[in-house]
Structure 1
Amino acid sequence: MEIENRSVEFIPENERYGSVKRLFTVWCSANMQVTTMVIGALGIVAGLNLGWTFIGLIIGNLIGSIFMAAHSAQGPHLGIPQMIQSRAQFGVIGAGVPLAIVVIAYILFTAANGVVMRDSIKAVVPVSDNNAIILFGALTLIVGFVGYELIHRIGAWMSAISSIIFTLAAYAILKHGLPEGVWLLSGSTFKFATFCLVVTQAASWTLGFGPYVADYSRYLPSSISTRSTFWYSYLGIVVGSTILMLLGAVMAASAIDVTTDPGSAIAKLFPGYESLAYYVIIIGVLEWNVMNLYSSYMSTVTIFTGFNGTSRISLLTKFSIMAVVAIIVTVIAIAAQYNFNAYFSDILIAQVYVLVPWSAINLVDYYLIRKGRYSVPAMYDSEGIYGKINWNTLFIYAITVIVQIPFMELSFYKGPIDKIIGTDISWLPALIIPGALYYFMNRSKRLHLTPFDGTHLPTTSMANLKNTGI
């Protein structure tokens, strides 16, 4: 298998390949891993019963996945990485602001995975805590450097293998029964603040894939319909994330510690086969970790290439940047490993504050303002039609982040509105305010749509965009 030599540049039609069904397996498997289980367990740990936790997790996944899949549908149509497309809204250099935030978010998540896998690594390799995290980081770097095709192949295999192991795990737990009353949906078991928190955490998880989801659909032929791209991505993430979150909730309700060491919690359900289970668990989280590292690299390169218009990156530069990111991730993981629960909860919620406004702006521009019409060459030219910096968009983005402050709830801060309501609902203003402001400030652009440049863009029919079924 060859190392991927494409990076932030446009993927020409003669290099497009693959089936849209790949999107189901890559997103199902990326979510069918033990870190996703931790999300499901948080509601139980916070005091909500199993019935209401199930409902909150399902609602959050169904809502958040809509936006993730809508971003995925942009990949085959434009043939470029997700965050490059943000240059059309923020300007070629201005896009560096949301890009830098995305890089930070994924570095923190990648570090979290290193902590989650520490004890699982130690179970199969006799190493110290720190060395286990370093080893997982090194594996992530190697697979991430090989790139796109290897990631998809791992996804295809792991979607099947992970399904088997987690199905058996669910059976092992349920055959012993659950504590009485955990499903009760009476008013006395409902805690509004905790229920809203569960919905937010589940939606945040799926929304978090938005800034890089098109990175894994950009090689698909442009003839693939937007509807197909949307639904295969949507169903993949909904199936994978919902099933594992529900399993995490069931395990927590059964008094199994999921948040401290989810890998061991699953492996111990397979006496005599624990080592095999550990290997499957490690590879499952490794796949998602690789996707985070791969897209952190893509976003980092996008920031710096905005200044000089570069679109081709050498393999040496690619490895160097990935290595630096991997080292930073490893250092953070080692530092945060003994205070993980607060760390993980904070980054899960905090990403809503910064990624959801970007998502709203991007989707409104793509589906309502420009309707998929972009000049890809102009996205690499700071003197082109998208300009260096779009101050109006940056203003909308900044205002939205500021407006959310009273709604915020973190381990070290509670906003005044959060104290009144009793829960963090910041994702609602984060979604509505920037989308509405961007639409009304840019609706005149609909009369001056950017035409396709047939030399550089795929000859995708606009019928694909109109026939979305979204």
Structure 2
Amino acid sequence: MTTRPLAKDAAIDIVGRIETRGIDFIPDSERHSKPRDLAWVFFGTQITYGSIVLGALPVAFGLNWWHSFTAIVVGTILGSLAVAGMAIIGPRTGTNSTVSSGAFFGIRGRYVGSFITQVIDLGYFALVLWISTPPVLQGLHRLFGWPTTGPILTVALIIMAVITLGFGILGHATIVAYEKFTAVASMICLALLVYFVLIHWDPPEAAPKLMLGSFWATWAIAMTTQIANAISYAPFAGDYARYTPSASKPRALFGWSLLGMIAGCVIALTCGEIIGLGVQDANAVTSLMITNVPLALIVPILVIGLIGNVSNGGMVVYNGTLDLHAILWRMQRAQVGLIFGAVGLTVGYVGLVVFNLTDSILALCAIVTVLVTPWIMINIIGWVQHRGRFHAQDLQAFAHHRQGGRYWYRGGFNAAAVIAWVLGVGIGLLFTNTSLFVGPLANIAQGVDLSFISSALVASVLYLAIGKISRP
């Protein structure tokens, strides 16, 4: 059962037109999506250059075909379970995941989710630009002899950012429709690339050494990167699930979301693994791929770059805009989108052009996993404790300029949830080993990455122990 707030006048959510809803409650009369649409959203967004790079990482770490594949599958399943778990909340609250988290963290405690999601969104928006722009320029260089560095790189970065920003601002209906197109078009292009690699197989003569020396430590870090890829979508499941009817069955929401994430990730990442195994240096998989493919396949490569970038980047912009809207809720969603786009472009430019931070992908994956996993666990546990029942009007209390209500807790914060999240993140960071940060317990298990497991367990146990005291 969901108690609904008064809805605004009928809003716009049509393909090709700017969606007028933001984080406000979506009435059932406007919820035109079905649970299976979630599968298309999560499937289509995986067919990108980013998936090729992430799928090739286990190979670059020194793992063989089978070990790389198992790391992809296990990591994808674990991360996708979190996505599916978060998808069941949106239809009951009628709003995005950040605002929905106010039921567990408190009306002001939702800022914890806003902080996490802005780190993810800005980081992954920059990552999309870093991964997608150089290969597109390399393809244009082979076709037309254009340069790949200097001012042209800056111009290409801006064009990519503007295109993805446009789709993100158009909003929900446009993104859902575009993901269905992407799922088909990009898969055809990706299949052509994989076929070329298979018939021109050119693996290195000697297998690379295991990155961390031992098998299990190397396999664990490879698996963690795949968890981070999938789980990074979990905080945004509500952005799309909120447009499904409130009476949608949790089983259907969970199942379709899980299917879309697992299928999209495993197919795309495995293609990346195959391409990584078939080139001399898996660390430079996209540049080697573009350098060696025949001219006839340059166009498919450019299609993946453009379509995939708009698909994945537009989704990141949309998610980031909604989560920033939870902070700047007095503004219109489109206005907030322009702010997010400007900041994201700045981060992307500084990272790619000024400092060339593309080697920080692993660090971003590790930090994202530690930040978001405890938050997700608290949300899912809270949903179970509340038995799927929410008072949507009280979740929107901040928009009505009032204090109090079912989710006010004490001062707008549920101290139990905030403490559980902080300690979960803190413990996870102790086990983190990245190029940006090395925790004091990073090597306690002979290099095996325990950050993900430890942060999830600590936050879950703490919230179960003390969260009931602070429930409304």
Find the partner of 2:52 among 37, 41, 51.
37
Query: Which residue matches 2:64?
Result: 49
Correspondence for 2:374 = 357
What is the CA distance between 1:342 and its match in structure 2?
2.6
Residue identity opposite 1:385 in structure 2:
R
Q: Are 2:321 and 2:340, in contact at CA under 8 Å, matched by a contact in 1?
A: yes
Which secondary structure does the structure 1 equivalent of 2:35 belong to?
coil
Letter matched to residue 115 of structure 2: A
Map of 2:116 onto structure 1? 101
Q: Does 1:441 align with 2:466?
A: yes
- Provide the residue aligned with 1:221 in structure 2: 245
* TM-score, reference length from structure 2: 0.85
- After superposing on structure 2, the runs of 4+ consecutive aligned residues of structure 1 that deviate more than 6 Å are 180-183
Q: Which letter maps to 2:238?
A: A
Deviation at 1:18, TM superposition (A): 2.8
Does residue 83 of the first structure (1) align with residue 105 of the second (2)?
A: no
1:190 Cα offset (Å): 6.8
- The alpha carbon displacement at 1:38 in A equals 1.3
Q: How does 1:153-172 map to 2 (within 5 A)?
A: 153-172=177-196
- Aligned residue type for 2:350: A
Q: Deviations over 1:351-386 (max 9, x none)?
A: 01110010010000012x111111111112242121
Of the three residues 370, 380, 392, the one matched with 2:416 is: 392
Shift of 1:101: 2.4
Question: Alpha-carbon deviation of 1:143?
Answer: 1.1
What is the alpha-carbon distance in structure 2 between the residues aligned to residue 267 and residue 157 of structure 1?
28
Judge conservation of contact 1:358–1:397 (CA < 8 Å) in 2. yes
Q: Distance in 1 between matches of 2:305 and 2:43?
A: 14
CA contact (8 A) 2:126 2:348 kept: yes
> Which residue in 2 is equivalent to 1:366?
383
C-alpha separation in 1, matches of 2:287 and 2:42: 20
Q: Secondary structure at the match of 2:312?
A: helix
SS of corresponding position for 1:17: coil
Superimposed CA distance per residue, residues 100-139 of structure 1 (whole angstroms, 9 cap, x where no aligned partner): 1211221011011111122244344956111111111111
Stretches of structure 1 that go unaligned for 5 or more consecutive residues are 184-188, 449-470
Change (3 A) 1:19 1:181: farther
Could you tell me which residue of structure 1 aligns to residue 298 of structure 2? 274
**Which residue number corresponds to residue 129 of structure 2?**
114
**Does 1:379 find its partner at 2:395?**
yes
How many residues align? The count is 433
The sequence identity of aligned pairs, in percent, is: 22
Are the structure 2 counterparts of residues 330 and 256 from structure 1 closer, same or farther at C-alpha, using a change threshold of 3 Å? Answer: farther
Q: Which moved more, 1:220-229 or 1:88-97?
A: 220-229
Gap change, CA 1:178 and 1:236, over 3 Å in 2: farther
Partner of 1:427: 452
Say if 1:180 and 1:274 are closer, same or farther in 2 by CA, change over 3 A: closer
In structure 2, the gaps of 5 or more residues are 1-15, 208-212, 398-402
User: Which residue number in structure 2 is paired with residue 411 of structure 1?
Assistant: 435
Counterpart CA distance in 1 for 2:316 and 2:467 is 32
Q: Deviations over 1:266-322 (max 9, x none)?
A: 6964532423430233111221111111111111111244xxxx6xx53xxx33321
Secondary structure of the corresponding residue to residue 4 of structure 1 = coil
**What is the TM-score when the length of structure 1 is the normalising length?**
0.86
After superposition, the C-alpha distances for 1:135-159 in whole angstroms (9 at most, x for unaligned) are 1111111111111111011101111
**Equivalent residue, structure 2, for 1:186:** none
> Structure 1 pair 264/79, CA: closer, same or farther in 2 (3 Å)?
farther
Who is 2:357 aligned against? 340
Matches within 5 A, 1:238-317: 238-255=262-279, 259-260=283-284, 262=286, 265=289, 269=293, 271-305=295-329, 313-314=331-332
> 8 Å contact 1:370–1:445 — kept in the other structure?
no
- The letter of the residue matching 1:8 is I
On the 8 A contact 1:264/1:278 being kept in 2, the answer is no
- 2:327 is paired with a residue whose SS is helix
Q: How far is the alpha carbon of 1:408 from its aligned partner? A: 0.8
In the TM superposition, residue 426 of structure 1 has moved relative to its aligned partner by 0.5
Distance 1:159 1:411 in 2: 34
Q: For 2:292 and 2:263, how far apart are their aligned partners in 1? A: 24
Amino acid at match of 1:423: V
Q: Say if 1:39 and 1:161 are closer, same or farther in 2 by CA, change over 3 A.
A: same
Matches of 1:423 and 1:190, distance apart in 2 = 9
1:261 Cα deviation from its structure 2 partner:
6.6
Judged with a 3 Å threshold, the aligned counterparts in structure 2 of structure 1 residues 233 and 56 are, in CA distance, closer, same or farther, namely: same
